[in-house]
Amino acid sequence: MIRNDQSGNAEKAAHFAEQSRHFAEQSRQANAAIARVRAVHVPIDALNVRANVEQKVCTGCGTDDGNWQTWPCPTERAITEATS
């Protein structure tokens, strides 16, 4: 099919506009997912009774032995590394 230049340019512009909307929506969804994960992984102060010291732990993570995960937890570190 032969098109004139204006028709081809308009088609390309429409395609790029659609791609831009798609990428913007993907970005919005990714940022919303990160925000929801971060809402679960929040630092709080806790007392380490073995060492008798206060330390920050993650509200969303535990360890295999039943203790809190110290902050920053692996999830928070992964998000920070991926977004910085």
Positions touching Zn ion (CB under 5 A) are: 41, 58, 60-61, 73, 75
**To the nearest whole angstrom, how small is the minimum distance from the Cβ of residue 44 to Zn ion?**
11
> If you ran DSSP here, which 8-state letter would residue 45 be given?
E
How many alpha carbons fall within 13 Å on the CB side of residue 49?
Answer: 2
**To the nearest whole angstrom, how small is the minimum distance from the Cβ of residue 52 to Zn ion?**
24
**To the nearest whole angstrom, how small is the minimum distance from the Cβ of residue 54 to Zn ion?**
18
**Spatial distance between the Cα atoms of 81 and 68, rounded to a whole number of angstroms:** 22
Nearer to Zn ion, 5 or 64 (CB): 64
**Spatial distance between the Cα atoms of 25 and 83, rounded to a whole number of angstroms:** 18
Q: Which residue is nearest to Zn ion (CB)?
A: 73
